[in-house]
Structure 1
């Protein structure tokens, strides 16, 4: 893989749609576009950052592949800071693949995953924090996580870190100048000034660091696992939280044998709800595998919700599950009583 190669990829999600975009970035981007695009103007005469109607041709056999809108963007005012072409095709899978194959045939290389962002980073368009924000913005599951990712992409975090770094460099430069050139008329910096300045920087960085865990939760969400004995209502809870029948619910114990997941949003925070197989001793091989998956899910969970059948009471199996969570995984579960409407009033 050569960083000077001209790269290309389908930039929209794979599948059928109204529009599909193919991006070309690199030194030969305009040259390749010139070979396959035919519009009112040639590529060399098209102004930067304008959209132009035309057709994509395979000039080997003269066939028209698609009617497109082509955008030409001159470096360095592009995402990668390289010459860039974006071809807006009709979003059919066949059309996109044909145009992509044509671009590759004319000299481009298929981009590696994340390579456009990598080039933006290597060419100084974005820093590492902003590069990480790109994928966070793409994967954002709520408007709140999207907003935080966009702020990071715009450089909010980078600016605060740069300010702290510049102040540290300033202190070092002032101290070295005072020590190396005592005969010069340089304002001396006192120990107290250095100490107070370093404390301010330390406190500012501590505030940024303390917000990491909160930011991770907003960005990645909370993994909440629902556990308990068979037939205590775990799947019913998942369905109620999801707002539709995501999991099969029956009166037969052991109905859920595999992990069932659903994403919901609470106050802008994505919650990954996981319904698990009921925990019990079983000779059924499939159900046993489901119980093992439940145990693994508990280990990686941020929140464990243990459901107890209030009508049947707190059974020995419930006690064993609770001991396992507390002693083995070290998690503190939220115990949820279900079926309290069936309990007779005393």
Structure 2
């Protein structure tokens, strides 16, 4: 039985996004949902309305005060327990638009419902045992999914993929805990001998399974939030031009004046299933301009937090000391050196060089192009040559990004991947408690202390699914939802 208190009120809210649309929905859930709808709904044939579950009814919403028709609607009735919340649910399908929706909602509230809080419909589904807490959190992940991969992960979690894996771990933990506590509680009974070495191995194996799931957290975060990708370089090197070229729109202002970008511009792009959270940053240089100085500081902060850095340098121009210093600090496994403006070098040198897929191909017997070769050839990471202005080499850059990402910690979505920081923190605590068990066994620690670590590991796992979680955490989780969901 759920240990949380469930309100018996009937709640209502607009369940569709604000603005104009073909259809808008006012949703009700609770013991009075059908009765409230009966007071306001007039069927098309003006007959007595005895709604059956999972049927759709045509008619009008009428103001009972004066008989005025508010809207022509379709009313869906779903009776408990076969509903989203396991309560009686009514959905009034109105014409899309803020005015009819608001007027219908006002009538519903006047008839006895109260306005639902953020995520209260999904919260009731959790409290009534239809879904667990991890599945409830997957609902908001589905709504916020920016890519197909993020959507697949959220749908898997909503279907119980992560929950089943956590519950399996909890069952194994309960077996270990029961064996230990039986010996503690009944020391003189004829119980099977507790093999502490076997207990330590089992705890360690379970900790290894948890660690494997923890390692998927980076991939889950990327698919959910996007790979934090920083476009960095000195002023006027072409960062904003590259942002516009990748987005195929004029998102950032591009001029010949250095320092045009003074704050971080953020956009999202999907490259072969990899979501990138692109951050176009202010150019790195010493400046006396107080506004530009703030932008430079924000660029440095963004670089510290970046998952991937696209460091732009200019073709045919020697690197400045600050660029060399930054290049030396960056991790080659998370950085691509992007040599931009190759079109200008071709024009200046007039050499027989072809840029195929972003790579420099020099004609035989010709002098090498001055593409900061002294640095690019020594850089241990990936180097891509582009012209952001003419969109040369962008496909090669995209390919390099995908290769770099998949060669690292980001793998294709699997059956159970962590996408939630709360889950990751709970798993880390469970892992720490379990790893205490083999260490404690080797030191000869009393069974009572082993029991404490096993129980705390079980409770940490229970925080993920909601079997062992504080009420304030539940409230905080659902406060992130939109009203009506």
TM-score normalised by L of structure 1 = 0.88
Contact 2:79 2:88 in 1 (8 A): yes
The corresponding residue for 2:337 is 335
Greater strand share, structure number: 1
1:253 shift after superposition: 1.6
Contact 1:279 1:321 in 2 (8 A): no
The corresponding residue for 1:53 is 58
1:127 shift after superposition: 1.1
Does 1:4 pair with 2:11?
no
SS at match of 1:207: helix
Alignment of 1:191-340 (within 5 A): 191=196, 194-319=199-324, 333-340=335-342
Would you say how many aligned residue pairs link Structure 1 and Structure 2? Answer: 340
The corresponding residue for 2:101 is 96
Q: Deviations over 1:89-125 (max 9, x none)?
A: 1111111111111112222222221222222222212
SS at match of 1:162: helix
- Aligned equivalent of 1:24, options 21, 24, 28: 28
In 2, the alpha carbon distance for the partners of 1:177 and 1:254 equals: 71
The corresponding residue for 1:82 is 87
162-171 or 81-90, larger mean C-alpha shift: 162-171
1:286 shift after superposition: 4.1
1:322 shift after superposition: 5.0
SS at match of 1:79: coil
1:145 shift after superposition: 0.8
Does 1:128 pair with 2:133?
yes
The corresponding residue for 1:156 is 161
In 1, the alpha carbon distance for the partners of 2:189 and 2:323 equals: 79
TM-score normalised by L of structure 2 = 0.64
Using a 3 Å threshold, how does the CA distance of structure 1 residues 243 and 118 change in structure 2: closer, same or farther? same
Contact 2:6 2:124 in 1 (8 A): no
In 2, the alpha carbon distance for the partners of 1:195 and 1:268 equals: 41
Contact 1:145 1:269 in 2 (8 A): no
1:319 shift after superposition: 4.1
SS at match of 2:215: helix
In 2, the alpha carbon distance for the partners of 1:292 and 1:192 equals: 54
Alignment of 1:29-48 (within 5 A): 29-39=33-43, 40=45, 45-48=50-53
Does 1:15 pair with 2:19?
yes
173-182 or 198-207, larger mean C-alpha shift: 173-182
1:57 shift after superposition: 0.9
152-161 or 304-313, larger mean C-alpha shift: 304-313
Does 1:145 pair with 2:150?
yes
Which structure carries more relative contact order (alpha carbon 8 Å, separation 6+)?
2
In 2, the alpha carbon distance for the partners of 1:291 and 1:102 equals: 54
In 2, the alpha carbon distance for the partners of 1:175 and 1:71 equals: 53
293-302 or 190-199, larger mean C-alpha shift: 190-199
214-223 or 247-256, larger mean C-alpha shift: 247-256
Using a 3 Å threshold, how does the CA distance of structure 1 residues 256 and 124 change in structure 2: closer, same or farther? same
Does 1:65 pair with 2:70?
yes
Query: CA RMSD, aligned part only?
Result: 2.8
In 2, the alpha carbon distance for the partners of 1:143 and 1:122 equals: 30
